[in-house]
Chains A and B, each alone.
Chain A
Amino acid sequence: MTAVALSHLSKRFGNHLAVRDLNLEIESGEMVAFLGPSGCGKTTTLRMITGLIQPTSGDVLFDGESVVGIPTERRGAVMVFQKHLLFPTMNVAQNVGFGLKMAGVDKAETARRVTEMLELVELPDLESRKAHELSGGQQQRVALARALVVRPQVLLLDEPLANLDANLRITMRQLIRSIQHEMGITAIFVTHDQEEAVMLADRVALMFDGVVQQVGEPDTFYRRPSTTRVAQFFRNSNFLHGVRSGNVVSTPVGDIEVDPVQVADGSGDVILSVRPEEVKPVLAGSDAANTVPATVESVIYMGTHTQVVAKIGNSVWNVQTAAAFNPREGEEVLFELPKEHVWIVKDDSNSQPDAVKAS
């Protein structure tokens, strides 16, 4: 059981800051996801934790002790790389048993654990195959088995499920989760898929451009995104500009009441937001509060629900409603923005020029 802490961690490549002043504490036995778009510094951060690259500044601590001076092979942090990197000169069993062999575990024990692990990743009977005789997904699972079989203190996974089909991905997620739980492994995994992050992780750290934007339990990214960009990354681009005074935000399409307890921050010019799933269509003449008029732009029937794109004031909103709601294009409708779901986000469209464009 090892707690990992990253303190003011930065990495510069030439004059490019790949990771900027990253602070994060990961509890022992916790599973944290680094989530973010390509090139935001996820792999770089993992490599600093393993010691394969040295931080430009800042510190990496295992159980409160700095490990920056300790070579990779003695840190006890096992990494599964983005390119699964099976040793080409070894067969599957030798690959999986590599860590055990290095640790001097005897042959019989190694063989037993390798077989057991290969069964867990659903690859029995492949022990004598060479790496190049496996499919991409099989290679990825062998790489996963090779890491899990040593029961690492800290497990670092760089997009470990990227090459798997939907079903296998679910199975492997469960496998990783159960082994990690069982052995109390502290795990960090990298993904650019927000669904995977929220399904697998205890907490998520969302990174853009080398900077951690928000850290928290998965649902906070849906209910409490800190900025417009974070909200958009989680598929919410419903924004409405307004001016807040007290519990009320005045917008061009009417006054919207907010819950003062939940939405304590933000006054003056604000951007309010409601997730697509929480916006409710209401019938004209209903006495619901917090309603706004909208013009329907498109309606897509999705089977289980209907996806409505509508214009509220100058902003384009996505609304996900019951399949039965089926307005015509161009129709004027009324949407309720339930008070308990109204949230205020910070505008960071300046740091990302095209961020507030509807996606």
Chain B
Amino acid sequence: MARTTELTDLAERESLRSRLKIPLMLAPAVGIVVLLFGGGILVGLGQSLGYFPAIGLNEFTFEYYGSVLTDSNFLRSLWLTFRIAATATVLSSVLAVGFALVLRQKFAGSRLATFLFQIPLPVPHLVAASGIILLVTQSGLTARLAYALGIIDVPGDFPAMVFDEAGIAIILTFLWKEVPFVGLVVLAVLQSVGPQYEEQARTLGANGRQRFFNVLLPLIMPGIMSTSIIIFAFTFANYEIPLLLGTRFPSTLPVVAYRLYQDPDLALRPEAMAISIVLAIVALLLLIAYRRLARYAVR
């Protein structure tokens, strides 16, 4: 009897040790991350709550949140931000799947095509944005080409895609950058699965459309889920592209926050921080809702 308890004690201690092993090994790295990022977040949070000793603010208050949330332009900006991020996410996922389906096939030049497809990956977003400007402004290459071909009468007839409220150029820039990213993830899944399940489905009578929706899509869905979360989070919080390519008003929330932050008047800082914190919370809530929904849909 005593011997058994001894043994279970030993086993327990052993399992405790193995359970603590990984956290202990991770501790140094986690510590640095928490210090660097957690510190930044805490400072931001403090400022948004009115704690900003540098300019003599020492009292905690929800005043800034109040003024941000009751501003009639806030909702308009939030909606714009959401619309651009959601459109970019959905379109990049759909396009990426399309490209991946083509690129997985062997055809003359398929390796070159796959290489070209990946080129946008290392290009900085700002460079991509300048490229898009060159391409789609009313004085850009596409407009001039359309004019030269007589499709439009004056270059000004070319639809406004830059500095427009629809944010077409912003979305195009995001797509150019993110489609290869999602596409490569999907391509990797497709290549590791190979054609075998589709072949099996074919002999069971499934046509191309049925094979895509019943066999392929469920296989690549987890990959699309993860990449779309990353892309949504990124595009939702990105400020440089909408700052460059968006209208002055309304602006996306990250742009509004950025402008307030850059303002020489330091008293605007708490509001900038309040917007950023709200943005982060909204993004988090949206992603949680998305995961729930996706899990439900998969089942």
Complex contacts, A89 vs chain B, CB 8 Å: 218-219
Evaluate whether A73 and B218 lie within 8 angstroms (CB atoms) in the complex, with A81-B196, A85-B197, A87-B197 already known. Answer: no
Partner of B205, one of A52, A103, A156: A103
Interface residues of A in 74-107 (CB under 8 A from B): 74, 76-79, 81, 83, 85, 87-90, 98-99, 101-103
| Interface contact A88-B219, CB-CB below 8 Å | yes
| Interface contact A146-B199, CB-CB below 8 Å | no
The chain A residue with its CB closest to the CB of B196 is A85
Name which of B26-34, B52-60, B108-116, B206-214 contacts chain A.
B206-214
B73 within 8 A of A: no
Complex contacts, B214 vs chain A, CB 8 Å: 98, 101-102
Interface residues of A in 135-150 (CB under 8 A from B): 146-147, 150
| Interface contact A99-B202, CB-CB below 8 Å | no
| Interface contact A150-B196, CB-CB below 8 Å | no
Measured CB to CB, the closest approach of chain A to B120, in angstroms, equals: 30
| Interface contact B196-A102, CB-CB below 8 Å | no
The chain B residue with its CB closest to the CB of A46 is B203
The chain B residue with its CB closest to the CB of A146 is B204
The chain A residue with its CB closest to the CB of B204 is A99
Complex contacts, A99 vs chain B, CB 8 Å: 204-205
Interface size on A, residues (CB 8 A): 26
- A147 and B219 alpha carbons, distance in the complex (Å): 21
Evaluate whether A87 and B196 lie within 8 angstroms (CB atoms) in the complex, with A73-B206, A102-B205, A150-B205 already known. Answer: no
Complex contacts, A72 vs chain B, CB 8 Å: 199, 202-203
Partner of B203, one of A78, A87, A101, A103: A78
Complex contacts, B196 vs chain A, CB 8 Å: 81, 83, 85
- A167 and B63 alpha carbons, distance in the complex (Å): 78
B230 within 8 A of A: no
- A52 and B219 alpha carbons, distance in the complex (Å): 21
- A73 and B199 alpha carbons, distance in the complex (Å): 9
- A156 and B202 alpha carbons, distance in the complex (Å): 13
Measured CB to CB, the closest approach of chain B to A298, in angstroms, equals: 47
Measured CB to CB, the closest approach of chain A to B51, in angstroms, equals: 50
- A147 and B200 alpha carbons, distance in the complex (Å): 10
Measured CB to CB, the closest approach of chain B to A189, in angstroms, equals: 14
Evaluate whether A52 and B199 lie within 8 angstroms (CB atoms) in the complex, with A87-B215, A89-B219, A98-B214 already known. Answer: yes
A226 within 8 A of B: no
- A77 and B219 alpha carbons, distance in the complex (Å): 25
Residue from A89, A101, A150 with most neighbouring chain B CB atoms (10 Å): A89
Evaluate whether A52 and B202 lie within 8 angstroms (CB atoms) in the complex, with A83-B196, A89-B218, A89-B219 already known. Answer: yes
Measured CB to CB, the closest approach of chain B to A244, in angstroms, equals: 50
Complex contacts, B210 vs chain A, CB 8 Å: 102
B201 within 8 A of A: yes
Complex contacts, B200 vs chain A, CB 8 Å: 79, 81, 85, 87
Complex contacts, B215 vs chain A, CB 8 Å: 87
- A83 and B196 alpha carbons, distance in the complex (Å): 9
Complex contacts, B218 vs chain A, CB 8 Å: 87, 89-90
A50 within 8 A of B: yes
Complex contacts, B202 vs chain A, CB 8 Å: 50, 52, 71-73
Complex contacts, A102 vs chain B, CB 8 Å: 201, 204-207, 210, 214
Measured CB to CB, the closest approach of chain B to A187, in angstroms, equals: 14
Measured CB to CB, the closest approach of chain B to A206, in angstroms, equals: 25
- A146 and B197 alpha carbons, distance in the complex (Å): 13
- A52 and B206 alpha carbons, distance in the complex (Å): 13
Partner of A79, one of B197, B203, B206, B207: B203
- A92 and B203 alpha carbons, distance in the complex (Å): 18
- A99 and B92 alpha carbons, distance in the complex (Å): 32
- A134 and B253 alpha carbons, distance in the complex (Å): 51
Complex contacts, B206 vs chain A, CB 8 Å: 73, 98, 102
Complex contacts, A77 vs chain B, CB 8 Å: 203
- A332 and B275 alpha carbons, distance in the complex (Å): 104
3 A-B pairs closest in CB distance = A89-B218, A99-B204, A72-B202
Sampled A-B contacts (25; CB under 8 Å): A52-B202, A52-B203, A72-B202, A73-B203, A73-B206, A74-B205, A76-B205, A78-B203, A79-B203, A81-B196, A83-B196, A85-B200, A87-B197, A87-B200, A87-B215, A89-B218, A98-B206, A98-B214, A99-B204, A102-B204, A102-B207, A102-B210, A146-B204, A150-B205, A156-B203
